[in-house]
Structure 1
Amino acid sequence: MPSFPPSLPLHHSSNAQQQPLASSIDSEDDTEDMNLGNGGSSRGARNSGHPFKSLTPKRILAIAAALIFVVFFFGRSSGGGRDGYLKSGTAASTDKAPNEAAVQVDKLPPNSPQKQQSASSGKCTPPKGQKATTYALMIDAGSTGSRIHVYTFSHCDPDPKALPKLENEGFFMTKPGLSSYAGKPREAAESLRGLMEHAIEGVPEAERSCTPIAVKATAGLRLLGARQSQEILDEVERWLKEDWPFAVVKDGVVVMDGRDEGVYAWITINFLLGLIGPDQPASAGTAAIMDLGGASTQIVFEPIYDPGSRDKLAPGDHVYDLDFAGADHVLYQHSHLGYGLMQARRAVHNLVAFSYVWQSAPKGNSVKWEDLTPKDKIHNPCMFKGETKVVKLDPPGREEVEVTMVGTGAGFEACRRVVEVMIAKDAACEKPPCAFAGVYQPKMGEVFSAGKVWALSYFYDRIAPLGLSSPFSISALRQLTTDVCAGREASSWSRFKNNKEAMEELSDRPEYCLDLTFMYSLLSLGYELDEERQVWMGKKVGNVELGWALGAALAMIEGHLSCRAE
């Protein structure tokens, strides 16, 4: 996720295929390889890793004991029984969710660059020395395939510092990815030929020598190791320079740093919303992004400190100094590897299974972890009552096994108690303040109290189909989660009966309660967004896809570009 955009559905063809742009940011399927969701290992290099990574068997047993204590003893007030789960038929929360504001995210604010005149309008006044129309090429070399974005920009604001308007985006893809050509760098480069032929068609001949191109590789190449991945990148760069007329930017053919991916997505949203650029005062604030993929979740925002305060953003890898459109932005960014949606599911299942094994001895029927099989039916409070699913369990220090999870329909509160153990809000914090899992993060309520928060990828894919509009409040998400977790027989499901998409989604995923509970807990407990904080979500703004590629292209053309020598 995973790159962001996450992995794309690719056709079995050696030639590049043009696809509808909406497909470019579809989140991974539930069965996607955990290591590839939302950046996977490419982002993990700088981060603390999976939430269970540092757990020894003794620590896992301690956590299991703590989990049992929490679920059994605190759960009793909610009707928890000997099994540690609430019984079915749990009453829905009585908290009243506020009416969600009706906001059409496809309508851009007046100060967005997308509101400028088009070069074809006849009213275009480009800056002195600037062409009215320029082009840029960005290749996303993902683990399962490569995609090219062919961007057309208009420059119709006479201010030389003004950002351009995105006029058009051609999007093409090919399969397999560069990482499939280990030891075959020439073949790797040639795999991009179909994409480059589309680039030739999309850029006028007179503009090609001045059109910049870059290749940003994600998780796949990193997994090959430094030597083989560099051989491929070197050959791709040589091939682009010698066989194609475009201007390869300096240091433009690289494995993308995980930090950059989130920041480029941040640029995309703030560009479209008109929150960055030469006319924006620092006091106006920018939008934050929270991107949830399969293997990791990212957060990027620009904290604002009182000039008279001694509080400052602590130094470290989380600091990203961005010089964009003539303005300096000091961003906080972090990628929490292991806290993507699919990995969160896996972690919750592991915890529930350890609870099952722990309880087996006192019951006189001791179960050994390595003896677990799909015949073992383990009660799970985060699944709908009676729903079953065979899942893989793989905690560190234990063999990988499969078991059958059986939903108890215990409801939101019971599920939340398990999820909050996994989020590790109380982990040791060496450099306070911390968000969760001991990771330093300034408190958003103090340094980002007014800015818009945008939730991307799986946040959108799971929440939007259920009818919650954008923006929504955290309390509205809590109410939605409570209603979903109450189960099919509950009266709260009446809210979905006239929503065909919602009913199809809910009928297809027995872990929907788990997914929503994790999202709510991540936002409210992990990032400490208060209950009335508004959150925006979407796949597009102003008919433009949200993703890192546009931000990367904008950062590229904002740099010092030069045409290649003829």
Structure 2
Amino acid sequence: MALSWKERVFMALLGTATASGLTVLVLILVEATNILLPADTKFGIVLDAGSSHTSLYVYQWPADKEKDTGLVSQALACQVKGPGISSYTTDPAQAGESLKGCLGEALALIPGDLRQATPTFLGATAGMRLLSQKNSSQAGAILAAVSRVLGQSSLDFWGAEVLAGRDEGACAWVTINYVLGRLVKYSSGEWIQPAEGMLVGALDMGGASAQISFVPSGPILDESTQATFRLYGTDYSVYTHSYLCFGQDQMLNRLLAGSPVLLVRHPCYLSGYQTTLPLASLYESPCVHAAARLNLTQNLTVEGTGNPGACVAAIRELFSFSGCEGPGDCAFNGVYQPPVQGQFYVSSSRYPSVWPEGLGKGFWPCEAHQAGEQAEVLGPSQPLPWAQVEASYPGQEQWLQDYCASGLYILVLLQALGFSEETWANIEFQKQAGGTDIGWTLGYMLNLTGMIPAEAPAQWRAQSHGVWVAGVVFVVLTLAAILGAAAVQLLWVQD
């Protein structure tokens, strides 16, 4: 029996829907491929409690990591208001309270469901090292206060402790080499490790201590100066040493201390400069030893004479250049150090605006500079009077008075560490690299990521763009055929 037109159209539409639906199914099953969705993000917080101030840093990295080490980036840098936590000896609770502003900014950045899995650590550096030597109970009370505040947050608090100088220097070395792409870099679609010869050294100038870290050309003969890391599948052996009392704040105190008189005419300050300060502020640190006959309730008056040669001589008296106590070479104070080699990055949070613009013979940085301008390097017989410098650079008083002493101190310290006129070109003065602050905190977080389990990225099935477009077309065709068949069946009246 012959089919009617209605039955023919209905069967054709039904066949089209069936064929189109089978095509969609084949496209889904045959052409689908597995893809990796972006990994979840991990967060971590490190607080750098330095001698003069505290900084809070939030870091983030993909949860899947690269050869067991996170690809860490800086998400937030917050400067805590007030002095360093070692200053709160008379009111330790305020050391903890001072952190709440930056802590609130960090919590606002980190999603609520990730806070309990966010490791948080406070490392106190040379200021607290000195306080621990002077009064361990006061140092303990301050650490307890900051621990209470951080422990009461919704974060995964890992502790607050006084960081060893060696760890501070070694982590700073990790930081600078990471941000410069010397530990790992992205090339041709994958992460690779550059050649070891690309590594740079780090010299960190703090307020109370100075740290030098680098990979020497030969073996490290003193194990107490050696730090080892395994980062991105590669092992590193780094020489590192921290010189307590050789930070810039302590150096300035030591320069002024020791005189039995209450009026000091000092060559490291410009002619015409004068200030009065309490003697007790100079001698409160274990770095400075007070003479028995000094009355620390009195004030000291300092007048500048602006004599660069005498200033360098005074600074050199802070160093001991006697021989090494152990095997091999040494820098100063009898400390073992292999010869410096390669490029070095020098950083400081204490004097961000007064880096020397030149190094070498006749270096006399007695004229400050404004942003974007070169500092004038004056000859030994040309130091400007204080009144002229002060008037020329308003708003820089916080650093300006110590500019000459600090600049010449950096020069003498570099010479004491083994640098010379032939190696000045290998030294870079930077506070940031690649938009990231140079210091120990990022290196600490990189090393910490090796202790946090990695998470494999989630898998999903997906098609190429062309297959996806074809699938959509056939899905639409299938639906149209089904709707058409239904319409024929319900609305087409049979003759």
The verdict on a shared fold, with TM-score over 0.5 as the criterion, is yes
When residues 339 and 186 of structure 1 are mapped into structure 2, their CA distance, relative to the original with a 3 A threshold, is: closer
| Amino acid corresponding to residue 300 of structure 1 in structure 2 | S
Q: Is 1:407 the equivalent of 2:268?
A: no
> Does the Cα contact within 8 Å between 2:57 and 2:75 map onto a contact in 1?
no
Question: Quick one: structure 1 residues 460 and 208, their matched pair in 2 at CA, closer, same or farther if it must change by over 3 Å?
Answer: closer
Equivalent in the alignment of 1:356: none
Structure 1 counterpart of 2:156, one-letter code: A
Q: Does 1:544 align with 2:436?
A: yes
The structure-2 alpha-carbon separation of the partners of 1:475 and 1:163, relative to structure 1 and needing over 3 Å to count, comes to farther
Instruction: Tell me what 1:247 maps to.
Output: 156
Match of 2:381 in 1: 486
* One-letter code aligned to 2:209: S
What secondary structure does 2:363 align onto? helix
2:59 maps to which residue?
151
Contact kept? 1:388, 1:510, Cα under 8 Å: no
Q: Which among 382, 398, 404 is matched to residue 268 of structure 2?
A: 382
Residue 238 of structure 2, aligned match among 331, 340, 350: 331
* Counterparts in 2 of 1:262 and 1:389: CA distance versus 1, 3 Å: same
Separation (CA, whole Å) in 2 of partners of 1:500 and 1:424: 37
Decide whether the 8 Å contact of 1:485 with 1:513 is kept in 2. no
Deviation at 1:284, TM superposition (A): 2.5
Partner of 1:268: 175
Gaps of 5+ in 1: 1-126, 306-311, 354-368
Cα distance between partner residues in 2 of 1:176 and 1:489: 32
Cα RMSD after superposing both structures:
4.4
Per-residue CA distance 1:438-490 (angstroms, 9 max, x = gap): 2111111xxx2x233334345653225xxx2xxx5x32782657616534559
Aligned positions, number: 388
User: How many Å separate the matches in 2 of 1:183 and 1:419?
Assistant: 33
Measure the CA separation in 1 of the matches of 2:257 and 2:49. Answer: 33
Contact 2:124–2:162 at 8 Å: present in 1 too? yes
Q: Are positions 1:213 and 2:120 aligned together?
A: yes
Q: Does 1:318 align with 2:215?
A: no
What is the distance in 1 between the residues matched to 2:97 and 2:256?
43
Task: Look up the match of 1:286.
Answer: 199
The 1:488–1:324 alpha-carbon spacing in structure 2 relative to 1, beyond 3 Å, is same
In structure 2, what is the equivalent of residue 522 of structure 1?
A: 413
> Which residue number corresponds to residue 297 of structure 1?
210
Read off the aligned partner of 1:247 and give its amino acid letter.
D
Q: Does the CA contact (< 8 Å) of 2:89 and 2:138 recur in 1? A: yes
Q: How does the TM-score come out when normalised to structure 1?
A: 0.56
Matched residue of 2:360: which SS? helix
Work out whether 1:137 is the aligned partner of 2:45: yes
Change (3 A) 1:216 1:416: closer
Aligned-pair distance for 1:420?
A: 2.2
Instruction: Report the residue type matching 1:138 in the other structure.
Output: V
Task: Specify the code of the residue in structure 1 equivalent to 2:273.
Answer: E
Give the partner amino acid of 1:339: F
TM-score (norm 2): 0.63
User: Counterparts of 1:325 and 1:171 in 2: how far apart (Å)?
Assistant: 28
Amino acid paired to 1:286: L
Q: Which residue of 2 aligns with 1:75?
A: none
Matched to 1:284, the amino acid is: G
Larger Rg: 2
Cross-structure match for 1:424: 320
| Secondary structure class of the residue paired with 1:304 | coil
Identity value in percent: 25
CA distance in 1, matches of 2:118, 2:398: 48
**Code of the aligned partner of 1:214:** F
Change (3 A) 1:344 1:531: farther
Q: Is it true that 1:346 corresponds to 2:241 in the alignment?
A: no
Q: Could you list the runs of 5+ residues in structure 2 that have no partner in the other structure? A: 1-34, 185-190, 284-288, 367-376, 456-495
**Secondary structure class of the residue paired with 1:254:** strand
Aligned positions of 1:177-188 closer than 5 A: none
Q: CA deviation at 1:183?
A: 12
CA distance 1:212–1:162, shift in 2 (3 Å): closer
Q: Any idea what SS the aligned residue of 2:181 has?
A: coil
